[in-house]
Amino acid sequence: MTPENRRMYWKANLQLLLGCMVVWFICSYGFGILLVDQLNSIRIGGFRLGFWFAQQGSIYIFVVLIFFYAWRMNKLDRKFDVHEHED
């Protein structure tokens, strides 16, 4: 791998990581703490949405982000030809 490709690979990796962390921060801190009063006016399944995000939603979002990150990194690895070869 050339130094230029290595730099582009890590730049794309860090952009993906930063995007995932921003989504996680907004869902966990923003929806679960800062906007909890506004979200509590919405009810889903009998539970207030702000309460749901504080208790369960941020965990579900985090798990989804893990799978999303793995899927996108596999695509990125293939693009830069650093993926694990299947024999």
Tokens in use for 10?
Answer: 């890590």
Q: Is residue 22 part of a domain?
A: yes
Q: Which domain holds residue 53?
A: 15-79
pLDDT tens profile 3-52:
898 999 999 999 999 999 999 999 888 888 888 889 899 998 888 888 88
Please give the pLDDT value at position 58: 85
Please give the pLDDT value at position 50: 86
CA dist list (Å): 29 to 8, 21, 33, 40, 74: 31, 11, 5, 15, 29
Domain total of the chain:
1
pLDDT tens profile 56-71:
888 899 999 999 999 9
Q: Is residue 7 part of a domain?
A: no
Please give the pLDDT value at position 87: 55
Q: Is residue 75 part of a domain?
A: yes
Provide the whole-model pTM: 0.81
SS3 for the chain is: CCHHHHHHHHHHHHHHHHHHHHHHHHHHHHHHHHCHHHHCCCEECCEEHHHHHHHHHHHHHHHHHHHHHHHHHHHHHHHCCCCCCCC
Q: Is residue 2 part of a domain?
A: no
